[in-house]
Structure 1
Amino acid sequence: MLQTLSIRDFVIVDTLELEFSSGFTVLTGETGAGKSILIDALSLVLGARGEGGITRVGAEKAEINAVFDIAALPVLQAWLREHEIDVDDAQLLLRRVIYADGRSRAFVNGSSATIQQLREIGEFLVDIYSQHAHHALLKASTQRQVLDAYGGLQDVAAELADSYQIWQGLYHKRLDAEKNAEAHAVESAELRDQVRELAALAPSAEEWEPLQQEHIRLSHGASILAGGEACRELLSEGEVAAIRQLSSVQHKLHELVAYDSGLQEALDILDGAVIQLEETDRFLNRYLQRADLDPERLNEVEARIHALHAAARKYRVRPEELAGLLESWQLRMAELESAHDNEQLRQEEARARAAYDALAKRLSDGREKAALSLGEKITSEMQRLSLSGGKFAVSLNAQDPAATGREQVEFLVAGHAGVAPRPLSKVASGGELSRISLAIRVVTAQQGDMPTMIFDEVDVGIGGGVAEVVGQLLKTLGNQRQVLVITHLPQVAAQGMQHLRVSKHLHDGQTLSRIEALTHTQRIDEVARMLGGVEITETTLQHASEMLAAGA
């Protein structure tokens, strides 16, 4: 449940700290006082999209903090751990900062988070229901979602949607295979010839570079041998070979070092040079002895290079890409062979259809049971809401298999006795729609597990004794979970266990909004204002006191 909400520099609120209790809380105030500010702020901290003009005039940023008790929400705790967010089993702190330039930051338990994460967390915590939801209830998709939620069928419905996509994917794959069988056969035959040719060539992605290097070496074999021998002649074999000359210098320096040790460094350097030259000479000797400059091998290499070049030109790729081309052709051939196996495709499609049908039956059976129960309960609530003799029913109309199931869900209503139920969108007036919508919300909420529910002026178009019944319904709902209601009706306000009042005042030339928790005496004055308007009489105050006493 929501424990505290703090707001700073948001719209016309400079600073606000609110504590909430469990049960049924009402929020009242003059028209235009800013009652929606609390809902807007809470929506933002739960991941709603921010718009311009959110920060208070002259402020750098708006900041909203909300603290929730999540001790009874193990599923949310598991979600937080899965997303590597530190979890306090008792409390969850959500924070949203929105700057004047439109930038926004989000935090969960002090750690930076995304707006999407706030939105996902919000789905575990709060359900906000506004008067605009009445009109959404006229849509077939909303009616289906309401029924599925009431019957606890959301998981089955989601599985069915996935199953439908799998089935349809295989269905269209089979149709495509049958439609394009001739074209695929031509392509397969062409690929078969090309694969046979390249497979015989057996190109390797790693052979091209070494093959070129070997060709260069073999084609310049004579030059390599002659050059190598010339190098050895200069190093060690000739009369004036470098190693012999340096050895003479080396011998002379040995004699001189005896006279001056300062020449030792020169001798050390020369010793190293002689060693390096001798090593070079030995390397050249070994190389020339084992040099493989076979003309037949040269012919083989040239033939291989020519074959690879020819294939590369034919298929318009580089020689080193031939191996990859062969692999891609082989994969495509496997795809075509699979596509041509119509019997296998039919079997896969049949299995997918059977899986869909099984899920669809489960969903249909669940909907049929939920439809009967939902119709009876809402019909019962309609009697309490001055729709005596009225009836509510859920019609399940057969349709072709679809991602949503094998039936369309339609809400039917009869406003009074003796009238056949008709689609909700065609028969309900504004006031009737408000009452029916509220009845649906209260009944379905009893089946759900959302810890906090907020009703934003859902009692528009309701008055008199019906308003008192609405208050009783909301209070009953508050016995099961935390309920916050923004209302203009004194009959509803009098039922609240906690009462918050919104007001506006001028401060330093700025209009600011204030929300305060009311004492019992203040509640009498506020309910009297809602009853009597501008002039509040003793009679009005007495009536307000009696209403509060009755609602306690």
Structure 2
Amino acid sequence: MLRRLSIRNVVLIDKLDLDFHDGLSVLTGETGAGKSILLDSLGLALGARADSGLVRHGCDKCSVSATFVLPQGHPVYRLLSGQDIDLEGEELVVRRVVTADGRSRAYVNDQAVSVGLLRDVGDYCVEIQGQFDQHGLLDPTTHRSTLDAHGDLGSMALAVRDHWRAWRETQKELNTARARIDKAREEEEWLRHAVDELEKLGPEEGEEERLAEERQFLMHGEKLVAALNDASGELSRGKGAESALRGAQRCLERELEKADGRFEPIIEALDRAAIELEEANRSISATLADLNVDTGHQENVEERLFALRAAARKYNVPVDGLNALMKDFRSQIDQLEFGEKELSRLTAAVAQYRSAFVEAAEKLHAARKEAAAKLDTAINAELPPLRMEKASFVTDIAKTDENEWGSEGIDRIQFTVATNPGSPPGALNKIASGGELSRFLLALKVVLARVSAVPSLVFDEVDSGVGGATAAAIGERLHLLAKERQILVITHSPQVAARGRTHFYIAKRETEGTMVTRVDALVDGARREEIARMLAGHSVTAEARAAADSLLEQPR
């Protein structure tokens, strides 16, 4: 529960330290004294939106810290443990600092944290409820979670969310696959035509370069043939170069023995030359045989080369990329057959996940109906003590059409009330008046407090618009609720204020030429005087003091 609230330089508050106890604490004071500033300060420490306007004039920053004492096993321990923040003992200190330029910093036990984490911590520690809080009874979007919390249906609701997520994600996957297959089907005829065309063309890696070189060679073929023939003619002119070399070799060989070894190198050189000349003649003959200078062959080479290049331009790829493109087109065609199987698998999976969601949602619906009956009974039992004997509270649960299903299930849930017998139940904000809404809210909080893990509840003028016996009844219910939770109430009702175990008085005072808000803990005579003022106004009478004494005699 909240043990201490320390505020520095927030609007009209320069320095304030408040110590709270368990049970019911009441805060009273004149209108405009600064009660809302206290709530804004507490909200700031719990992660509410920071505003530079909260910084006291002339100061560079403001800060608020709140100290809580929480029992072991409280959910906030698990939350902080997941962020590597360990609590020492049972004390938790949250702090928020806001600078004059609107920047803010958040801390948990002096360790810097995100504002989001601070807000999560705050949600586990304190619930602040105003008379027309749009995140409370008036907002139907909260009714489902409120009912689930009361019925302890969290695990069932989580199962429904898991089934919903699996269903919708698989449905999305199916839609994507179907769109891909549909697009492939539209292109199938073109793909098959392209594959057929490329298969007939039969492109090979490196073919363009080879054909281009051959074409270049063939373009000069006649000149090359003439050159080879001329070379052959020169080598065979007269008796021929080879015949001359062999003749010279024979002349020397006849006198070899007489030359005393001097002819041997010459003979060997002539022999080598003859062999090389013979090889040259064979190469000339072979080249002439291989060199196809037929005009038809050149045309075939050029036609093939131009066909490859035309296909490359058509499909916007290099010539060497045609083969890979053909394989890719084949793969896309194959994917059509595989895609059909994938569509069948996903369609079956969607049906399976939808069935699992519907089954879990139906079970949750039945459990919600049962929990709603118990909630209605409990809240309606709280209404007579709050002077609403003729009113009734009804949790309306209706199954929705499939297009309205969601991760929370198949139910539309709304809290409705009827304030007069025979009148049909209606939405809270359309049926209940301000005072009636306050009491419905209080009845709901009394019931929910039995299952909530939040140790501290703050009510801002829950008694607004009521007085007399009704205000006394509200004070009684707050007194009972404070036996289970720490309750802080800002009130203008003396009947409620008299029930408080602790009483704080909020007032504005002028100090050194500037207005500041002060909060004093009232006891004994001072408290009696404040309640008398609330009864009588500024002119406190003996009768008002006597009435205050009567109120203070009630259990606190």
Q: TM-score per shorter chain, which class?
A: 0.7 to 0.9
- 2:15 aligns to what? 15
- Structure 2 distance, partners of 1:25, 1:328, is 78
- 1:102 aligns to what? 102
- CA spacing shift, 1:112–1:134, aligned 2, 3 Å: closer
Shift of 1:192: 8.6
- 2:49 aligns to what? 49
1:482-524 Cα deviation digits (max 9, x unpaired): 1111111011011111111111100111110011211122111
1:108-141 Cα deviation digits (max 9, x unpaired): 1111111111011112111111112278523432
Conservation of the 8 A alpha-carbon contact between 1:191 and 1:333: no
Aligned residue among 417, 433, 440 for 2:437: 433
1:428-476 Cα deviation digits (max 9, x unpaired): 2232222222212222222212111111112111111111111111111
Conservation of the 8 A alpha-carbon contact between 1:177 and 1:340: no
Given residue 372 of structure 2, which amino acid in structure 1 is its aligned partner? A
Conservation of the 8 A alpha-carbon contact between 1:134 and 1:433: no
Conservation of the 8 A alpha-carbon contact between 2:181 and 2:339: no
- 2:244 aligns to what? none
- 1:350 aligns to what? 351
- 1:410 aligns to what? 414
SS of structure 1 residue aligned to 2:544 = helix
- CA spacing shift, 1:490–1:328, aligned 2, 3 Å: farther
- CA spacing shift, 1:381–1:9, aligned 2, 3 Å: same
Of stretches 126-135 and 465-474 in structure 1, the one that deviates more from structure 2 is 126-135
Of stretches 153-162 and 410-419 in structure 1, the one that deviates more from structure 2 is 153-162
- Structure 1 distance, partners of 2:164, 2:21, is 45
Given residue 429 of structure 1, which amino acid in structure 2 is its aligned partner? S
Shift of 1:159: 4.0
SS of structure 2 residue aligned to 1:357 = helix
- Structure 2 distance, partners of 1:120, 1:202, is 66
Aligned residue among 514, 529, 533 for 2:533: 529
- 2:361 aligns to what? 360
Conservation of the 8 A alpha-carbon contact between 1:71 and 1:89: no
- CA spacing shift, 1:527–1:173, aligned 2, 3 Å: same
Conservation of the 8 A alpha-carbon contact between 1:127 and 1:453: yes
Conservation of the 8 A alpha-carbon contact between 1:46 and 1:121: yes
SS of structure 2 residue aligned to 1:351 = helix
- 1:78 aligns to what? 78
SS of structure 2 residue aligned to 1:156 = helix
SS of structure 1 residue aligned to 2:516 = strand
Q: How does 1:335-346 map to 2 (within 5 A)?
A: 337-338=338-339, 341-346=342-347
- CA spacing shift, 1:325–1:77, aligned 2, 3 Å: farther
Of stretches 407-416 and 526-535 in structure 1, the one that deviates more from structure 2 is 407-416
Q: How does 1:442-481 map to 2 (within 5 A)?
A: 442-481=446-485
- Structure 1 distance, partners of 2:538, 2:351, is 72
Query: RMSD between aligned alpha carbons?
Result: 3.7
Given residue 19 of structure 1, which amino acid in structure 2 is its aligned partner? D
1:551 aligns with 2:555: yes
SS of structure 2 residue aligned to 1:551 = coil
Of stretches 186-195 and 111-120 in structure 1, the one that deviates more from structure 2 is 186-195
Given residue 344 of structure 1, which amino acid in structure 2 is its aligned partner? R
1:58 aligns with 2:58: yes
SS of structure 2 residue aligned to 1:83 = coil
Shift of 1:99: 0.8
- Structure 2 distance, partners of 1:67, 1:335, is 65
Given residue 397 of structure 2, which amino acid in structure 1 is its aligned partner? L
1:510 aligns with 2:510: no
Given residue 447 of structure 2, which amino acid in structure 1 is its aligned partner? V
- 2:486 aligns to what? 482
- Structure 1 distance, partners of 2:319, 2:125, is 60
- 1:92 aligns to what? 92
SS of structure 2 residue aligned to 1:550 = coil
* TM-score (norm. length: structure 2): 0.72
- CA spacing shift, 1:79–1:173, aligned 2, 3 Å: closer
1:183-241 Cα deviation digits (max 9, x unpaired): 3334567779999989x9999xxxxxxxxxxxxxxxxxxxxxxxxxxxxxxxxxxxxxx
Shift of 1:313: 10
Of stretches 416-425 and 98-107 in structure 1, the one that deviates more from structure 2 is 416-425
- Structure 1 distance, partners of 2:412, 2:486, is 33
- Structure 1 distance, partners of 2:93, 2:194, is 65
- Structure 1 distance, partners of 2:337, 2:378, is 57
Shift of 1:379: 1.4
- Structure 2 distance, partners of 1:362, 1:348, is 21
SS of structure 2 residue aligned to 1:87 = coil
- Structure 2 distance, partners of 1:336, 1:15, is 76
Of stretches 435-444 and 123-132 in structure 1, the one that deviates more from structure 2 is 435-444
Conservation of the 8 A alpha-carbon contact between 2:52 and 2:98: no
Conservation of the 8 A alpha-carbon contact between 1:67 and 1:94: yes
SS of structure 1 residue aligned to 2:462 = coil
Conservation of the 8 A alpha-carbon contact between 2:9 and 2:61: yes
Given residue 376 of structure 2, which amino acid in structure 1 is its aligned partner? G
1:313-358 Cα deviation digits (max 9, x unpaired): 95559999x9999999979976983465332122101121122113
Conservation of the 8 A alpha-carbon contact between 2:75 and 2:453: no
SS of structure 2 residue aligned to 1:6 = strand
- 2:399 aligns to what? 398
1:119 aligns with 2:123: no
1:378 aligns with 2:404: no
SS of structure 1 residue aligned to 2:145 = helix
Conservation of the 8 A alpha-carbon contact between 1:70 and 1:89: no
Aligned length: 453
Conservation of the 8 A alpha-carbon contact between 1:438 and 1:458: yes
Conservation of the 8 A alpha-carbon contact between 1:184 and 1:336: no
- Structure 2 distance, partners of 1:525, 1:43, is 30
1:133 aligns with 2:133: yes
- Structure 2 distance, partners of 1:328, 1:410, is 57
Given residue 506 of structure 1, which amino acid in structure 2 is its aligned partner? E
Conservation of the 8 A alpha-carbon contact between 2:185 and 2:336: no
Given residue 391 of structure 1, which amino acid in structure 2 is its aligned partner? S
- Structure 1 distance, partners of 2:58, 2:508, is 18
- CA spacing shift, 1:8–1:316, aligned 2, 3 Å: farther
Unaligned runs of 5+ in 2: 206-307
Of stretches 155-164 and 360-369 in structure 1, the one that deviates more from structure 2 is 155-164
1:24 aligns with 2:28: no
Greater gyration radius: 2
Aligned residue among 509, 519, 523 for 1:519: 523
- CA spacing shift, 1:333–1:46, aligned 2, 3 Å: farther
* TM-score (norm. length: structure 1): 0.73
Unaligned runs of 5+ in 1: 204-306
Given residue 520 of structure 2, which amino acid in structure 1 is its aligned partner? E
- 1:219 aligns to what? none
Of stretches 461-470 and 138-147 in structure 1, the one that deviates more from structure 2 is 138-147
- 2:149 aligns to what? 149
- CA spacing shift, 1:426–1:8, aligned 2, 3 Å: closer
Conservation of the 8 A alpha-carbon contact between 2:10 and 2:63: yes
- Structure 2 distance, partners of 1:325, 1:113, is 57
Conservation of the 8 A alpha-carbon contact between 2:471 and 2:493: yes
- 1:185 aligns to what? 185
Of stretches 330-339 and 438-447 in structure 1, the one that deviates more from structure 2 is 330-339
Shift of 1:53: 1.2
- 1:4 aligns to what? 4
Given residue 76 of structure 2, which amino acid in structure 1 is its aligned partner? L
Shift of 1:33: 0.4
- Structure 2 distance, partners of 1:453, 1:420, is 32
Conservation of the 8 A alpha-carbon contact between 2:387 and 2:473: no
- Structure 1 distance, partners of 2:89, 2:330, is 57
SS of structure 2 residue aligned to 1:32 = coil
- Structure 1 distance, partners of 2:51, 2:177, is 50
